[in-house]
Structure 1
Amino acid sequence: MCGVRALHTVLVFPAWRDNPYLNLMSLAPRAGGFAFTGVTTFDSLVTASGRLVAGDLLHLHWTSPILQRAESEADAWAALETFTALLVDLRTRGVRVIWTVHNQLPHELAYRDAEIALHRVLAEQVDAVHIMAPATPRVLAEICELPADRIRQIAHPSYLGVYGKAPSQTEARRALGLAPDEKTVLFLGQIRPYKGLGTLLSAIRALDARGEPVPTLLLAGSATPEAQAEIEAALPVGAKAITRFEFIPDGEVPIWFAAADLAVFPYTAILNSGSLHLSATFDTPVVLPAEPHLVEQFGDEPWVRFFDLADPVASMAGVIAESLRIPASAELSSRFDAFNTAISPWRVSTQYAALLSELSPTEGDEPLQPALHAERRPAGSASNPV
């Protein structure tokens, strides 16, 4: 970005401080003169939005804090009314609004109808809809129609440089008390019902029942005591598991991936997979559900394998067994390098900075006028649809 620009503020919601994705995306915009601030609750969003002025931007990410933390369905609908009025007010004042579509709907959903209505309001009112997965409009079609002329595709960045250099596999396995030649399968992340860990455990039991070698499970991430007890009860007798049921500090994440032969993410609902990008950062092959949009997006990558959702346990067991027989190779390493380089944090962040510059008006622009449907830009007006 060249020249000197007026300092505009980007209000990020929700801005969780420990989320590396948000930090990576803001790299180039910060360097280009944008000031970032963030809030995490709906009440704080309403308050902070009142301080925005013409030329500033509100960037909405995960929508769950808007409605899904309401105490009742009536409160959720009331929050939707408040939020809709907030969007109209922002547009009247010349504040631009971006919505990044991370999920089809929040994973933990209490008020489905209100959430669908919220998605439709966003699709109508925001100035830009940022998508990462190319198939996002199709995946969301049953929820809302995303306006084609306001969609901007910017890929999910890799996590290169975020977590530091990974140790060698031998060093990582020593740190976790593993033998150098143990076959290992990793699940890392918050342990929640929608993440399908039960399917992985059933697949491990299926391998045992078939008489196949049973890999050591590496399970790392925060979990309730109830979830921990369920996991321990579901493990086959004699199966080895290295577990750490708590938040994994950034400095230790490379150890878990370096120790793993394979990362398995048996999600039951997924649009974008940050876990896949994290695995790629450490050259760890991945198993994902064979959602059509995921196969379409990542099916050409030899380090991404898929299990059949129609028969998840048997399919996952087979994919794990086959994947663990495939040795690492220089060719596979080069494919990881190519994938990570194409979506390096700075490259993706620069594309995001271009989007902010496109939307942030220069001196003399008229504030947008609120309408039932948001203003539609003519096709081709974007500086670079990415």
Structure 2
Amino acid sequence: MQTISQLKLYRANGGRVVWTIHNRRPHKERDSETFEWFRYELCKIVDIIHVHAPHAAVHMVEVYSASAEKIRIIRHPSYLGAYEPADDTLSRPLSDSGIRNFLFFGMFRGNKGLGLLGEAAGMLRTKRQGWTLDVVGQSFASQRRLLRKLNWVEGVSITPDRVPDADIPLIFGNAQAFVVPFQNLFTSGSIMLAQTFGLPIIGPDIPEMRQTIPRACWDLLYTSNRPRKVMLKMLKIVDMGHDELSERREACFEYARETSPEVIGSAFSQALDSIRPNRQEQNLNVQS
């Protein structure tokens, strides 16, 4: 309540408010009624509602009655240049070792699908050798049991801790595909990070995913939340030839270039310019 009052006062004194939406729901549901009320109020106050994809714009209009005129769809930036020079990332060759290296990276919460991933990996191991899976990221106590189950599968390695930024290029540079075993997706920085390093995404075939990855990788999306469906897409990568996988990799690199921080930063600057107070408004605020 106090935050809303302060924002109203800030706007009354000539301020501008920009709100970026990252999640459909809070990571932890504590007070859903207050959450809903706060979002409704923010939609009334802010000058710009920044979302990363069309599905998020529809969500804000349909669920929170947001004004379509306030919404700006500006894609989530890639991470080119964030962890190493962009040229180093884009010039890193695809490994030709014959071993397919999968990666799952992120903070492990309840919706991350670790159980599904574990079952899919176990099924894949019975059909093919010649692959590994690295599961990396900070985990909560509730996820430790599922991580231990994953660790029983041959070729799966678990790093259940936050990793230093300096290790990111090595972790992603060693991988060849990124697995997303969860259906609850709104905006995902880890998916953008994976594509920055040229990793095609294996994930659910939902509009949110199709609006986040290049069309060249849509055939790697699975159609139902079942271990066999995930396993079959992983199998497709294992059996994929070097040239075809290289084409997917280049499609991801191109997507990372199109959404580079420079490109997205320029689009965001234009959005900010559209709500910048003109000189007359500034003078009125000073006089009042």
Normalising by structure 1, we get a TM-score of 0.65
In 2, the alpha carbon distance for the partners of 1:285 and 1:270 equals 17
In 1, the alpha carbon distance for the partners of 2:102 and 2:227 equals 15
Selected match of 1:316 from 221, 225, 230: 230
The answer to whether 1:216 aligns with 2:132 is: yes
The answer to whether 1:254 aligns with 2:174 is: no
User: Deviations for 1:172-228, whole angstroms, at most 9, x for unmatched residues?
Assistant: xxxxxxx943322111111111222221112112324x5344732201111235533
Selected match of 1:283 from 192, 198, 209: 198
Question: Contact 2:150–2:156 (CA<8 Å) still a contact in 1?
Answer: no
In 2, the alpha carbon distance for the partners of 1:361 and 1:334 equals 42
Query: How do 1:359-370 residues align onto structure 2 when only pairs under 5 Å count?
Result: 359-365=275-281, 366=284
Question: Contact 1:220–1:243 (CA<8 Å) still a contact in 2?
Answer: yes
Shift of 1:282: 0.9
Selected match of 1:102 from 10, 13, 22: 22
In 1, the alpha carbon distance for the partners of 2:152 and 2:116 equals 13
Q: Which residue in 1 is equivalent to 2:111?
A: 194
Query: How do 1:261-300 residues align onto structure 2 when only pairs under 5 Å count?
Result: 261-296=176-211, 298=213, 300=215
Question: Contact 1:97–1:126 (CA<8 Å) still a contact in 2?
Answer: yes
- Residues 104 and 357 of structure 1: is their aligned pair in 2 closer, same or farther, counting only changes over 3 Å? same
Shift of 1:364: 2.6
Shift of 1:97: 0.6
Q: Percent identity?
A: 24
User: Deviations for 1:110-162, whole angstroms, at most 9, x for unmatched residues?
Assistant: 21221111111111111111111122122345531221111112111111111
User: What are structure 2's unaligned runs of at least 5 residues?
Assistant: none
In structure 1, what residue type is equivalent to 2:233?
V
- Greater mean alpha carbon deviation, residues 227-236 or residues 99-108: 227-236
The answer to whether 1:327 aligns with 2:247 is: no
- Residues 364 and 104 of structure 1: is their aligned pair in 2 closer, same or farther, counting only changes over 3 Å? same
- Residues 103 and 301 of structure 1: is their aligned pair in 2 closer, same or farther, counting only changes over 3 Å? farther
Question: Contact 1:263–1:285 (CA<8 Å) still a contact in 2?
Answer: yes
In 2, the alpha carbon distance for the partners of 1:143 and 1:214 equals 46
Query: How do 1:71-90 residues align onto structure 2 when only pairs under 5 Å count?
Result: 81-90=1-10
Count of matched residue positions in the alignment of Structure 1 and Structure 2:
276
Question: Contact 1:204–1:236 (CA<8 Å) still a contact in 2?
Answer: no
Selected match of 1:230 from 146, 157, 167: 146
In 2, the alpha carbon distance for the partners of 1:333 and 1:194 equals 27
Q: Which residue in 1 is equivalent to 2:38?
A: 118
User: What is the aligned-residue RMSD (CA, Å)?
Assistant: 2.5
In structure 2, what residue type is equivalent to 1:117?
W
- Residues 304 and 157 of structure 1: is their aligned pair in 2 closer, same or farther, counting only changes over 3 Å? farther
User: Deviations for 1:327-379, whole angstroms, at most 9, x for unmatched residues?
Assistant: 34353344234312221211110111222222221333045xxxxxxxxxxxx
DSSP 3-state at the match of 1:315:
helix
User: Deviations for 1:77-112, whole angstroms, at most 9, x for unmatched residues?
Assistant: xxxx22221222112111111111111122322212
In structure 1, what residue type is equivalent to 2:257?
T
Query: How do 1:16-165 residues align onto structure 2 when only pairs under 5 Å count?
Result: 81-141=1-61, 143-164=63-84, 165=88
User: Deviations for 1:273-313, whole angstroms, at most 9, x for unmatched residues?
Assistant: 2222211111111112222232255361337721224x432
Whose helix fraction is larger, Structure 1's or Structure 2's? 2
- Residues 134 and 118 of structure 1: is their aligned pair in 2 closer, same or farther, counting only changes over 3 Å? same
DSSP 3-state at the match of 1:186:
strand
In 2, the alpha carbon distance for the partners of 1:331 and 1:207 equals 24
In 1, the alpha carbon distance for the partners of 2:141 and 2:56 equals 35
In structure 2, what residue type is equivalent to 1:123?
C
